[in-house]
C-alpha cells in the first residue's frame, strides 16, 4: 500500500484515498475550525470557517479532497483573521444574546468565537425578525440563533428518515423551514430522541425543560477550548470517509 501524505503547516499528515482535508487533519489530531462540518454527515460546505490555503488557494477543508503532496496552511494569522470575520458575520446576521441562551457554554459558535479570541462583532448588527416555533411539546426551534448549517436537515433526512427540516430562500433571505402543512414542528413526526434534535451546533434546536441544567463551570467549553473538545469527540469518527 502506498502511503499518501499532505502537509498541514509543515507537518506530515497521512490520508486515505477519498478523505477530505479536514478528515485527514482530524484523524491526525490537527484541529481545523469548523461549524457546518460534522464527521458523521456528508459535507455541506456553507459556513467557510474551515477555510485553509491549499497550494496557495483558499479552499473549504471540509469539502476539498486530500491529494498527495498538497501543502495546506491552517493555523496562520491571516486565516484566523478571516475566520474571525466570518464568525463575526454569523453573530451579526442572527440574534445571539448569549447571556439569555440555554446553549451558552455548550455552543460551538460561541466556542469558536472564544477560540479565535473574538471580542466584538465588528460589523453593524442586523437584528432580524425571525420566527420562534414553540408549538411542539418537547422540542423548541428558535430561529434567531440558526446559522443555516443544515445539520438538522441532513440528520432528519439521512438518519431519522423524517425530512422535518429544509432551507428555503436564497442569499440573505435563506431561512430554516419545517416540512409540515402548518409549517410548525408540532405537526411533524419529530421526536425528542431524533438525531436532528441533538445535532444543532448552536441554541436553535433545544429540548424543552432541560435548559441551564448544567451549571456554569461544568459546561463543555468552560475549561477546554473547542479544538480540544472537537478532536476528542471527532477523531474516532474521522476514520470513515464521507468526502467527495
Partner 1 sequence: MADKIKVATTSLAGCFGCHMSFLDIDERILDLAQIAEFDRSPLTDIKQCSDHVDIGLVEGGLCNSENVHTLREFRKSCKILVAVGACAINGGLPAMRNHIPLEECLEESYLDAVGVENPQIPNDVELPLLLNKVHPIHEVVKVDYFLPGCPPSADVFWKFLTDLASGREPSLPYELVHYD
Q: Restricting to residues 61-90, name those near ligand FES by CB under 6 A.
A: 62
Whether 114 and 225 have beta carbons less than 8 Å apart is answered as: yes
What string marks each residue from 172 to 211 as x (binds ligand SF4 by CB under 6 A) or -? ----x----------------------xx-xxxx------
Map grid coordinates 441544567 to a residue. 213
The C-alpha cell that represents 130 in the structure block: 425571525
State the Cα–Cα distance between residues 34 and 47, nearest whole angstrom.
8
Nearer to partner 1, 15 or 221 (CB): 221
Instruction: Show the binding pattern over residues 109-128: x = contacts ligand FES (CB under 6 A), - = does not.
Output: --------------------
Query: How far apart, in whole angstroms, are the C-alpha atoms of residue 74 and residue 62?
Result: 13
Query: To 10 degrees, the CA torsion angle through 131, 137, 139, 144?
Result: 20
CB of 86 to partner 1, least distance (A): 17
User: Binding to ligand SF4 by residue 152, rule CB under 6 A?
Assistant: yes
Of 19, 104, 156, 230, the residue at the interface with partner 1 (CB under 8 A) is 104
Binding status of residue 39 toward ligand SF4 by CB under 6 A: no
38 binds ligand SF4 (CB under 6 A): no
Q: Which of 8, 21, 30, 36 binds ligand FES (CB under 6 A)?
A: 36
Q: Which helix (H) or strand (E) holds 155?
A: helix 151-158
Q: Please, which residues bridge with residue 178 across strands?
A: 165
37 binds ligand FES (CB under 6 A): yes
Q: Which does 54 bind (CB under 5 to 8 A by kind): ligand SF4, ligand FES, partner 1, none?
A: none
Please check whether residue 86 is in contact with residue 48, taking contact to mean a CB–CB distance below 8 angstroms.
yes
Gap between the Cα atoms of 71 and 23, Å rounded:
15
Distance CA 128, CA 103 (A): 20
Binding partner 1 (rule: CB under 8 A), the pick from 114, 162, 167, 186 is 114
Toward ligand SF4, which CB reaches closer, 53 or 184? 184
The whole-angstrom separation of Cα 137 and Cα 209 is 10
Q: Name the segment binding ligand SF4 (CB under 6 A); options: 44-52, 59-67, 103-111, 229-237.
A: 103-111
* Distance of alpha carbon 109 from alpha carbon 113, whole angstroms: 6
User: Smaller CB distance to partner 1: residue 197 or 226?
Assistant: 226
Is 101 in contact with 61 (CB distance < 8 Å)? no
Q: Which residues here bind partner 1, judged by CB under 8 A?
A: 91, 95-101, 104-105, 110, 113-115, 117, 119-122, 124-125, 127-130, 216, 223, 225
Amino acid at each position: 500500500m502506498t502511503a499518501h501524505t499532505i502537509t498541514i503547516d509543515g507537518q506530515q499528515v497521512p490520508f486515505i484515498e477519498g478523505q477530505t482535508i479536514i478528515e485527514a487533519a482530524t484523524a491526525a489530531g490537527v484541529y481545523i475550525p469548523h461549524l457546518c462540518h460534522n464527521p458523521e454527515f456528508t459535507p455541506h460546505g456553507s459556513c467557510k470557517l474551515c477555510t485553509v490555503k491549499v497550494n496557495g488557494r483558499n479552499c473549504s477543508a471540509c469539502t476539498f479532497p486530500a491529494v498527495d503532496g498538497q501543502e495546506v496552511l491552517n493555523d496562520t494569522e491571516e486565516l484566523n483573521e478571516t475566520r474571525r470575520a466570518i464568525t463575526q458575520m454569523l453573530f451579526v446576521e442572527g440574534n445571539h444574546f448569549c447571556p439569555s441562551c440555554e446553549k451558552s457554554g455548550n455552543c460551538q459558535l460561541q466556542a469558536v468565537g472564544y477560540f479565535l479570541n473574538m471580542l466584538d462583532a465588528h460589523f453593524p448588527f442586523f437584528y432580524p425578525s425571525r420566527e420562534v416555533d414553540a408549538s411542539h411539546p418537547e422540542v423548541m426551534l428558535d430561529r434567531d440563533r440558526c446559522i443555516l448549517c443544515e445539520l438538522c436537515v441532513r440528520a432528519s433526512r439521512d438518519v431519522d428518515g423524517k425530512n422535518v427540516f429544509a432551507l428555503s430562500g436564497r442569499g440573505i433571505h435563506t431561512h430554516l423551514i419545517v416540512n409540515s402543512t402548518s409549517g410548525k414542528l408540532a405537526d411533524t413526526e419529530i421526536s425528542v430522541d431524533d438525531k436532528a434534535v441533538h445535532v444543532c451546533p448552536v441554541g436553535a434546536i433545544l429540548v424543552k425543560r432541560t435548559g441551564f441544567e448544567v451549571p456554569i463551570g461544568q459546561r463543555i467549553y468552560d475549561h477546554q477550548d473547542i479544538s480540544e473538545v472537537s478532536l476528542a469527540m471527532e477523531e474516532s469518527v474521522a476514520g470513515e470517509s464521507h468526502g467527495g
